[in-house]
Amino acid sequence: MSSDSVVKNWKSEELFHFLSWISSRGDVEKSKILLDILDRLWDDHFSDKVTGDCVDSTGEFKPFKSSFISNLQDFPWMVSNINNKLHYPKALFHDCVTVNSVLGVSAPYTVPKVKSEKLLANLGLKTQVTLDDALSVLSLWRRCEAPLRASVSQMSNFYAFLWKGMTLSKKKIIEELRAGPFIFVPNTSGYSDGDIVPGALLSPQEVYWHDNIGSVDRVKPINPASIASSRNGKTMLYNLYPNLHEFFVDECGVNEGPPLCSYLEILLQLSTITLPHQAAKRVFDVFLMWDDALKSGLMSCEDVAYLKESLLKKEYTVLPTRQDKWVSLHSSFGLICWCDDDNLGREFRHLDGVDFLCLGESADAENQMLQAKVSIIMQRLGIPALSEVYIFQAREEYCPQGWTCIGELIMLQCIEEKF
């Protein structure tokens, strides 16, 4: 700048010292007061003080940012809704629809909310969300000790925003998502998609996309958080974010279905809200799935051992019987078997200490075919077929009550040997 230049600058020593004092002491309350005063007076008294003028010897006019607005921009003096620290204006968002629809209520907004549009622009507050902004806020959510408050609809927008950003910055986004949990799951029930509720951020390993059998759908309305707290329990995303399958499964590595063993916990929850005969088909579907997984190698020996050990516990009453009871394989429930012979079933259906699994109603031919399909998993889990328990032995001696009586004696002997 030559000595012949004429400069008109706007500055305030009082404002400089006041901002310095607020910033150094972290005075939240005085910061709020200052912002409120500036907001009310800005348009009429200060908006024309943000630009200085420089006229050089040739008469060329060159505007520049005044010292007055530079002081307001260059001090960390503004309060946000997320903590009691003071922030630079450029680090905070203006609470508007454009920002709120993507970042929700847990983004760093100014407190109090600025009303003057000129002050918004002059301070450099954020009124749009960039990809870096979204990833920065995600990092902020991860560090927050309190439960994240958000709505499912807003978080859907957030994930859709990241998904769209993958067109140009996929590597960057994937790396950030892998750095920690990022999938919001409410930890309450009875909410709509637009309700702001507390929740937690989970990793892809803690969720799955959908339960094709439909057992979770039956349990979820009663207690959506119960399954996630179990040993193998994970949260289903389909009911929360139905339009984001490609994002979560294809891009983020979320599994299509729940772990095989988690269905035991799902059935346990199902048994608390449904009568055995109403849930028999779903239970049978789970056994069919386990049997297929066992044959294909998807179910490990450790999985089978865990299921078998759990079913022997008294509290794991996940097996529906023809007497419309929920039972486990614990000895207190007597001998539990599945009926592979209708004639034998009719003979022993009223015998004390013996109960048959209820595997749902279907045509005889179909029923026999389906029962044959689950024979292997039943055997591995320690659930015998009736024909295996009943060992018919022809006797030469006369029995006044006939062969049925002899069969019952043999059955009772088997029960005694088992227990």
Q: pLDDT by residue (tens digit) across 331-390?
A: 999 889 888 877 777 877 777 778 889 877 654 555 566 667 788 899 999 998 888 876
223 shares its domain with 292 = no
pLDDT digits (tens, 9 = 90+) for 86-141: 999 999 999 999 999 999 999 999 999 999 999 999 999 999 999 999 999 999 99
Backbone angles phi, psi at 195, to 5 degrees: -75, 140
165 shares its domain with 249 = yes
Predicted local distance difference test score (pLDDT) of residue 347 = 78
137 shares its domain with 200 = yes
390 shares its domain with 265 = yes
Query: Is pLDDT above 60 for 217?
Result: no
Predicted local distance difference test score (pLDDT) of residue 341 = 79
pTM of the model: 0.76
Burial class (CB in 10 A: 0-12, 13-18, 19+), 266: buried
Contact 7, 54 (CB under 8 A): yes
Q: DSSP letter at 338?
A: B
Burial class (CB in 10 A: 0-12, 13-18, 19+), 73: middle
Enclosing domain of residue 276: 260-419
Domain end position, chosen among 258, 282, 300? 258
155 shares its domain with 99 = no
184 shares its domain with 217 = yes
Contact 328, 312 (CB under 8 A): yes
The 10 Å Cβ neighbour count of residue 233 is 20
89 shares its domain with 210 = no
Mean pLDDT for all residues in the chain: 86
56 shares its domain with 16 = yes
The total domain count for the chain is 3
Predicted local distance difference test score (pLDDT) of residue 54 = 84
Choose among 134, 133, 141, 127: nearest CA to 157. 134
Helix, strand, coil % in the chain, rounded to nearest 5:
50, 15, 35
Characterize the bridge pairing of strands 51-55 and 6-8: antiparallel
Predicted local distance difference test score (pLDDT) of residue 221 = 44
